[in-house]
Chain A
């Protein structure tokens, strides 16, 4: 996009302010985002645009797309926060990790260690998806006052089993919101919705937080924090991120409402756990396994927007967690940054989790790499770049202010 334009003839400096006037260049507005991303079928509802809007007029909607309530100020911030407009992977990796990935790290991304983890607290294990690693690590961080609250995925709306960003400050709230949901939740949007961040430059003590998200949501977060025009005021208080392994998510209406509740007749309010494992869909109500069917029955509900995503193992997180690669009842954890390593080791020392090293050449890790490669076969050309295509003057990005303990 170029910004060269002939200045208008009579641009006199005014003694009186004239306020905002339309400028003779084409600006990107929220409508561009709708036309180029949502209507093209590539919006994965990460929520980055919602969080980045500086005048707070973008919101989550029931259709899993962002909506605008109010008058757009044409600031271009939401447009350049969207990871599906452009994702310069090398630049973002330099910002997150300090370096680009080497050739050995092509498949799994930059990582420091691979482990199998299980929480020790039976309360967490009862509600957890696999090993309860996410909940246990968040609980450790909350107890040690590394963070003041965790932004997890829970049920916010009146519709049962529709996920959205939730704040968890206590163990009870973490346990309630434990477990995976397989429909999109717009996590990053919660950054600004839960608490509008401190917008002034004066340093007021802000509550520190941690974020749990899918790989696409973390791409949204880091895109928002890496682009010149996007929103550096968001996420200043983020201490660490936990990413989840993801191959794809399903459409809420088609999977949960139409199939599970409609065709199978199971009341969504009684569902306690949803799992998709070894190509089978498992739905539990209470302790009973209500549905155990091949995943092809909901293949029609798979979101096509996921067909352009190539990130399986949350390559931009501090800690990446998933089920693949470990035994049943355990979670695989990949630590990608020193901060992630510290938190994992701290949680082990403090007795929140038990941990086994995963052999990088072992069967579990090989299977994980196979799934990553399989997801790489999808086509990301719509948005992935090596370096940013947007020409810019000499910007100084806000330095990452990850607060220390």
Chain B
């Protein structure tokens, strides 16, 4: 389906506020200029859920900040937590033991799957496919239950601390995880049948919401948004951290640049993470999981970044020797993808707005912090 341009020059456009409490927009405002049914321009208005996380963490010591750091994208908590402890460990010069690094990768990949499943379920409900709303949330339970036996909490893990992780694997975890990932991959096939091959979806998503290669790079996109435009960039491969340097996985890209490509990148990443979980459990070394790390941010500054589910999540931290950072600038993947939203929505019909916009996997809470 081709995107159409406005018919008459000089015609008036209607400004619509797809407001922060709207079933098609999540908790952020999109100010949309419409010419009839076609979106002429769309401007996101972030900040509805801004809580001042960066100021909060200036007032708390580094351990007390950990639950706060996780909350912006609680469905992807451990990846954000990882960026925080990576920054602190770089300043302190502490290196976690090998088993701790592998367990960090394990919970990161589980979080990636959980975040993509949540994205998928909301994508389904935006398009009116309520089965696609129920199924991924139900299958999330597979991993939430696993994470609960590993960390003690279902979603709010607070599992990574500077120096390692807080707990070791419980007994019987590896067998259960392998069973569940195999079952999950079969479920992914069912998702493909009911949703991704469904012409009700492909006709709405193929060719809609184009983000070309050049524009994706120019706008600073990251994560699946970038990889859905054919660019092979993943921090786990390009700047390996934790145990990713020793793990074998592929970075999935799709050349289309439309909503369908971005959605399929998410699906491919879920399969890859599922395979990675099995690989991590196989290669897990023995040893301690946590090294002693002081509750201190030494003098210095560092920039630490990780590949979270939505893209590059980074911390620029300036320490001054106390137990709190002097300044911690916190940028998440969704915030980086904000610039891609007007680009993707240009020239698209209003009914296709949820398709294109949500395929970027913009999580308003994460962007607003």
A242-300: which have CB < 8 Å to B? none
The distance in angstroms between the C-alpha atoms of A360 and B138, with both chains bound, is 73
A390 at the interface (CB under 8 A from B): no
Chain A contacts for B292, CB-based, 8 A: 56, 59, 192-193, 196
Chain B 280-324 interface 0/1 with A at a Cβ cutoff of 8 Å (1 = within)? 000000111111111110000000000000000000000000110
CB distance from B13 to the nearest CB of A (A): 50
The distance in angstroms between the C-alpha atoms of A56 and B296, with both chains bound, is 10
Chain B contacts for A195, CB-based, 8 A: 97, 287-291
Of the candidates B61, B288, B294, the one whose C-beta lies within 8 Å of that of A207 is B288
Contact A202/B97 with A59-B294, A69-B296 known, Cβ cut-off 8 Å:
no
A38-80: which have CB < 8 Å to B? 55-57, 59, 69-71
Asked whether, in the complex, the Cβ of B288 is within 8 Å of the Cβ of A194, the reply is yes
Chain B 71-108 interface 0/1 with A at a Cβ cutoff of 8 Å (1 = within)? 00000000000000000000000000100000000000
Asked whether, in the complex, the Cβ of A71 is within 8 Å of the Cβ of B290, the reply is no
Whose C-beta in chain B lies nearest to the C-beta of A196?
Answer: B290
The majority secondary structure among interface residues of chain A is: loop
B139-172: which have CB < 8 Å to A? 152, 163-164, 166-171
Best-buried of B163, B293, B295, B322 by chain A (most CB within 10 Å): B295
Asked whether, in the complex, the Cβ of A57 is within 8 Å of the Cβ of B295, the reply is yes
Of the candidates B97, B168, B287, B294, the one whose C-beta lies within 8 Å of that of A204 is B168
A206 at the interface (CB under 8 A from B): yes
CB distance from B334 to the nearest CB of A (A): 32
Number of A-B contacts (CB under 8 A): 58
CB distance from B318 to the nearest CB of A (A): 18
Whose C-beta in chain B lies nearest to the C-beta of A51?
Answer: B292
Chain B contacts for A55, CB-based, 8 A: 295
A388 at the interface (CB under 8 A from B): no
CB distance from A210 to the nearest CB of B (A): 15
A198 at the interface (CB under 8 A from B): yes
Asked whether, in the complex, the Cβ of A200 is within 8 Å of the Cβ of B167, the reply is yes
Chain B contacts for A192, CB-based, 8 A: 292
A328 at the interface (CB under 8 A from B): no
A103 at the interface (CB under 8 A from B): no
Chain A contacts for B168, CB-based, 8 A: 198, 204-206
Q: How many residues of B contact A (CB 8 A)?
A: 24
Asked whether, in the complex, the Cβ of B323 is within 8 Å of the Cβ of A205, the reply is no
Asked whether, in the complex, the Cβ of A56 is within 8 Å of the Cβ of B293, the reply is yes
CB distance from A212 to the nearest CB of B (A): 19
Asked whether, in the complex, the Cβ of A202 is within 8 Å of the Cβ of B61, the reply is no
Asked whether, in the complex, the Cβ of A207 is within 8 Å of the Cβ of B170, the reply is no
Of the candidates A69, A205, A207, the one whose C-beta lies within 8 Å of that of B171 is A205
Chain B contacts for A71, CB-based, 8 A: 61, 295, 322-323
Asked whether, in the complex, the Cβ of A70 is within 8 Å of the Cβ of B287, the reply is no
Asked whether, in the complex, the Cβ of A56 is within 8 Å of the Cβ of B167, the reply is no
Chain A contacts for B152, CB-based, 8 A: 200, 202
Chain A contacts for B290, CB-based, 8 A: 195-196
Contact A204/B170 with A56-B292, A57-B295 known, Cβ cut-off 8 Å:
yes
Chain A 70-104 interface 0/1 with B at a Cβ cutoff of 8 Å (1 = within)? 11000000000000000000000000000000000
Chain B contacts for A69, CB-based, 8 A: 294, 296
Asked whether, in the complex, the Cβ of B171 is within 8 Å of the Cβ of A70, the reply is no
CB distance from B104 to the nearest CB of A (A): 15
The distance in angstroms between the C-alpha atoms of A205 and B288, with both chains bound, is 11
Chain A 185-213 interface 0/1 with B at a Cβ cutoff of 8 Å (1 = within)? 00000001111101110101111000000
CB distance from B158 to the nearest CB of A (A): 13
Asked whether, in the complex, the Cβ of A57 is within 8 Å of the Cβ of B288, the reply is no
Chain A contacts for B289, CB-based, 8 A: 195
CB distance from A77 to the nearest CB of B (A): 15
CB distance from A83 to the nearest CB of B (A): 21
Whose C-beta in chain A lies nearest to the C-beta of B61?
Answer: A71
Chain B contacts for A205, CB-based, 8 A: 168, 171
Chain A contacts for B169, CB-based, 8 A: 204
Whose C-beta in chain A lies nearest to the C-beta of B324?
Answer: A71
The distance in angstroms between the C-alpha atoms of A202 and B294, with both chains bound, is 24
Chain A contacts for B287, CB-based, 8 A: 195, 207
CB distance from A28 to the nearest CB of B (A): 20
Question: Closest 7 A-B residue pairs measured CB to CB?
Answer: A195-B288, A196-B290, A69-B294, A204-B168, A70-B296, A56-B292, A70-B295
Q: What are 7 sample pairs from A and B whose C-beta atoms fall under 8 A apart?
A: A69-B296, A70-B294, A71-B322, A148-B286, A198-B167, A200-B166, A204-B168
Q: Which residues of B contact A (CB under 8 A)?
A: 61, 97, 152, 163-164, 166-171, 286-296, 322-323
